[in-house]
Chains A and B, each alone.
Chain A
Amino acid sequence: MSGSRRFGALLVAALGAVLVFLIVPVVGVFVNVSPAELLSSLGEEGALDALRLSLETTAIALAIILVVGTPAAYLLATRSFRGRSLAVTLVELPLVLPPAVAGIALLAAVGPSGLLGGVVEGAGVELVFETAGVVVALTFVASPFYIRQAQAAFAAVDPTLLEASRTLGASEAETFARVAIPTARAGLYSGTALAWGRALGEFGATLVFAGSFQGTTQTAPLAIVERFGTDFTGALALSAVLVALSAALLLSVKLLSGSAAFGSGASA
């Protein structure tokens, strides 16, 4: 069966090419900066500020996404209603929007002279140039990554399981919390990781909507681009930290969700 062997070789070659293409830039970040340089440029106040701000804002954005996105995804996955596919499409829209467009759209919607600018101002909330604005931008661009995954995960839950729960007397809310969520766990974890990763890397929407100011709105990706002009080592050092953080995030979620991270072909 030389045909199938040739096909197998093609697949291996393709995977090899993909891995090399994806890994080499990441390796480049680490070989260009010595550990000593990395530590010293991280010692800078601005770098630590940026990392702290990134962790804080992504954590808050993620909490909002989980709390609101999980029930929303459950509804999309388990009920059929008029306008459902429209809702699904709308939820996915930010996925395909260029980040800068997302930033401009947010300005046009909730910026000072935007559509709802008066409402936001009336409520005493300031978003532009404020950390809250960063959270809004992150939530906007990252939530579809979670909701899509969560929706797929809920849709994959065996309906008879939910039915059984109801038959046994559990309320809708109990069924959601104690059957649906635990059963869809793996998908929810991976959606969380994707959304977090996207939020951690967010650049364009934050810059356009919230601005860039150390300690308030300058997250790690913004600090990296600012350093790129004058301090390439500093930019690399911050990049290295973000790569490490993202990798740790992905790995921990893989472990949490119980699917073998590497190796063992028996993926769920």
Chain B
Amino acid sequence: MRLRRVPGILLCAALTAAAGCGGDDSGGGGERGELTVSAAASLTEAFESYAEGTPGEERFSFAGSDELAAQIRQGAAPDVYAAANTELPEMLAEEGLVEQPRVFTTNSLVLAVPKDSEIESIDDLTVPGIDLVIGAEDVPFGSYTLTVLDRLPAADGEAILDNVRSEESDVKAAVGKLSQGAADASFTYVSDVAAASDRLEAIELPAELQPDVAYGVAVVKDAQSPEAARAFVDGLLSGAGTQALEDAGFKPRSGG
């Protein structure tokens, strides 16, 4: 018994030593020419295809925009922050954590359902027993969903909220639940349905219910590679990034 413990301790020492060495020489993340980008989960496909055409290497962290903002507040400094709304980047700019944010694309919220679904419109969501998943209220696709439900007659909004079975932390988690047949419907972006078009279909929302979905991007103040970060953002505003976004189902920024 006692003899068997020694190798364990040695192993720990070795691991700790290895971790220590790693910590010493890394100047704090980003290697040469490597850009870290924290981006809303809904940007996954568009950004990955944009990255294929850029000269540098990008490292993406896709998650709920609110979670990524919280990481930046806690001191994590990616080079670029791209959110599925404009409020979060603006708040970070006011807090002095990111440079002036820019709107780079827009999207629309749709009712996403599995291909074989019998749901045809938002009215069908009021039927008791529908399994609806929505975004948690802090993540943009969740707050857009609440905006839509708020614009409905109060009784309908309540009935739909009663059918909510899960609050997801990012839009791709909702898409996963739909694709697996675990949920009957969700409100996602039209681009997310396009990315999962083999399993899902999008039901457009009536124009009067459609929220304004604009995406903001900013270079992070403590960026390791601010030059590359600016080039990445410029490409989104007018360049290969714009095309990649359009191909993924996003819409051009309005008035741009």
Contact = CB atoms under 8 A, between A and B. Distances in A.
A70 interface: no
A216 B164 CA distance: 11
A213 B67 contact: no
Interface in A4-32: 10-11, 13-15, 17-18, 21
Interface in B118-140: 131, 133, 136, 138-139
Contact of A17 (B1, B16, B67): B16
A246 to B, nearest CB: 20
Contacts of B173: 207-208
Interface string B159-182: 000001111110001001100111
Contacts of B183: 128-129
B74 interface: yes
B182 A107 contact: yes
Contact of A226 (B9, B13, B138): B138
Q: How large is the interface on B (under 10, 10 to 19, 20 to 34, 35 or more residues)?
A: 20 to 34
B248 interface: no
A197 interface: no
Interface in B50-78: 64, 66-67, 69-70, 73-74
A129 B163 CA distance: 11
B176 A208 contact: yes
Contacts of B138: 226, 229-230
A68 interface: no
B10 interface: yes
B181 A229 contact: no
B181 A14 contact: no
A171 interface: no
Given A14-B9, A17-B16, A230 B70 contact: yes
Nearest to A16: B16
10 contacts: A11-B9, A14-B9, A21-B19, A104-B180, A113-B182, A128-B165, A212-B169, A226-B167, A230-B66, A232-B74
Interface of B: 1, 9-10, 12-13, 16-17, 19-20, 64, 66-67, 69-70, 73-74, 131, 133, 136, 138-139, 164-169, 173, 176-177, 180-183
The 8 A-B pairs at the shortest CB distance, nearest first, are namely A211-B166, A14-B13, A113-B181, A229-B66, A129-B165, A17-B16, A128-B182, A230-B138
Interface of A: 10-11, 13-15, 17-18, 21, 104, 107-108, 111-113, 117, 128-129, 207-208, 210-214, 216-218, 225-226, 228-230, 232, 267-268
